[in-house]
Amino acid sequence: MRLQKIQECLREKGWPFQYTEEDGLGSVDFEYRGIGYHVWEFEEDGFGAESNVRDGGRQEEYRGDYEEEILRVMENWK
């Protein structure tokens, strides 16, 4: 199972989500305040993730410790 910290964060907040794993890469889709968000892992020159958590209408790539970086964004949501 991948993206475990993000899944745990969503469980703690009580937000329903859908987790999918394919070819060893995780994907999480969820809603917050009526906006659909996603975190999709990829492997291209190392591992990373694509997500729209910072700006619901725009996707951006996260590399390095991407799960922690995405969590920092989500934890600032009110």
| Domain layout of the chain by residue ranges | 4-75
Is-contact 41 2, C-beta < 8 A? yes
Average the pLDDT over 70-75 and give the result.
94
Q: What's the pLDDT score for residue 57?
A: 85
H or E element, residue 62: strand 58-63
- pLDDT (tens digit, 9 = 90+) per residue, 5-63? 999 999 999 999 999 999 999 999 999 999 999 999 999 989 999 999 999 889 999 99
Q: Give the residue, 78 or 38, on which the prediction is more confident.
A: 38
Look at residue 70 in the predicted model and tell me its pLDDT. Answer: 97
Q: What is the pTM of this model?
A: 0.90
- Helix H or strand E encompassing 17: strand 17-22
